[in-house]
Amino acid sequence: MITKSKLEIKREHFETSRELDFLSRKELIAQTGHQVAEWPLVVLKELLDNSLDACEEAGIAPCIEIEVDETSITITDNGPGIPAEVIDKVLDFKIRVSSREAYVSPTRGAQGNALKTVVAMPFSISGRGTVVVESQGVRHEIEVSIDRIAQKPKVRHSKSDSNQAGTKIVVEFPNETPRFISNEDSRFLQNDEIDGEYDGEKASSILLHSKPRFLQFARGYTWLNPHLALTVRWGDSEFSVVASNPDWTKWLPSNPTDPHWYGMDEFERLIAANICHKEKTVREFVSEFKGLSGSRKQKLVVDSIGQQRVNLSDLITDGEFDQQLVTKLLDAMKRETKPVKPSALGVIGKDHFLARAIEAGGAPDKFRYKKNQSGADADLPFIIEAAFCFCRHSTNDRRIVTGVNWSPGINNPFRQLGRSGQSLDSVLSEQRVTHDEPIVLILHIVCPKVRYADRGKSSIIIER
């Protein structure tokens, strides 16, 4: 028999802010798709992707400098800079800020949280750390911590004048013993994450241990971006790569997207994002797509849903999309436009890969290149480029450069190829291209819509 206690406690339903998620290792690992040991590479990738995009949007051939010391990564570009209001939004952990997350387009990154994760990393590693952004005449010094009582992020954001051209970002990796926000987070770090010893290492070891991969990964960007001039300095290690084609162009994130790239799910998501941001008419929405800037075509498309002056919000009834209207709208937009040809996406090209292979010690007579692309009338265009070169006099082991939409993968993104599900590594092993073979292999795909196998978008699925 259970005796009821005379003293009863009425349990309160306490609320905990989800804003804190961005400061936990568990969430950052999920957001980025990479464990803590790879976070220096994540910082490099996110900042380089942003710099390249910004330069391209401004019509500038990108010149980027990377400098690393024992406790920080510094990346400087010659782009137009980050507006102060964008920095303010990045520091609001209640929202995600992205100019492309809802669009279907061949862009380097589309997660909408790149800078947010970078700002949070120093604190997540050791409980302290500073990120400095100098851009458009303003120096932003940012330090993130936690309000332990409210259980919310606490951001110290100071501003001062700066004469820095372009954008300069410094991410600090504190030189002290790592800590965890909670015991729960520690379960997501394997004990062997850094050479079998993590807990006893200093935080700076995360940075120093990544040096070989970091330098190789940075160089990988020059393989996939012919217009990039890159300089990297890390202690005694320094290299510069001159752009092979400063005038090279590709599809820009600001280019109007093609209605043929959208299925119903993506189309409804874009309509919803527009409604939440600012009310606009269906005609205004239609005019933002490639091939639909003309008033005649806009009228034909809008007429397909029965009325001329209708707002996007009128496509929703009782909180649900009117499937018939939305389907008619998308079908009409596709009917009045032609699909984008794959060549318009941007071809890296044989000449660039050959130049980089020769720089790496490759033999020109042992170089092979192949390009495969979709048909000119395909709704979803793609380009696959592959290059192979034997490095006759090289003492280096096998070098593989893989990437999607002009951004190299931190890890091999081609871990599931075709219906067999084989990885690229398995295919190479079958061809006896082992790790100690002195070869260079490049595999790159560009496509407006890529299917990812994980939330961090580090692995793609190729089904053909």
What pLDDT is recorded for position 385?
97
What pLDDT is recorded for position 182?
41
Q: Quick one: which H or E segment has residue 220?
A: helix 211-224
What pLDDT is recorded for position 108?
85
Do β-strands 416-417 and 461-462 pair in parallel, antiparallel, or remain unpaired? parallel
Buried b (16+ CB within 10 A) or exposed e, 37-50: bbbbbbbbbbbbbb
What pLDDT is recorded for position 196?
35
What pLDDT is recorded for position 173?
83
Measured in whole angstroms, the distance separating CA 246 from the mean position of its chain's CA atoms is 23
Distances (CA, A) of 44 to 136, 217, 219, 308, 382: 21, 9, 11, 48, 26
What pLDDT is recorded for position 198?
38
**Alpha-carbon span 18 to 186, nearest angstrom:** 19
**Alpha-carbon span 400 to 360, nearest angstrom:** 12
Helix then strand count (H, E) for the chain reads 13, 17
What pLDDT is recorded for position 129?
80
77 CB-contact burial (10 Å; exposed 0-12 / middle 13-18 / buried 19+)? buried
Under DSSP, the state recorded for 140 is E
* Residue-wise pLDDT tens digits, 404-463: 999 998 887 776 666 666 667 666 666 666 666 788 899 999 999 887 665 556 666 665
**Alpha-carbon span 429 to 432, nearest angstrom:** 5
What pLDDT is recorded for position 191?
31
Amino acid at 304: S
What pLDDT is recorded for position 177?
45
- Helix, strand and coil in the chain, % to nearest 5: 35, 20, 45
**Alpha-carbon span 232 to 215, nearest angstrom:** 8
Tokens standing for residue 189: 């770090």
**Alpha-carbon span 312 to 102, nearest angstrom:** 16
Low-confidence ranges of the chain (pLDDT < 70): 1-19, 21, 94-101, 109-113, 175-204, 307-308, 393-396, 415-423, 425-436, 452-464
Residue 219 CB neighbour total at 10 angstroms? 19
Tokens standing for residue 114: 């790149």
What pLDDT is recorded for position 461?
63
What pLDDT is recorded for position 457?
60
pTM for the full predicted model: 0.85
Amino acid at 377: D
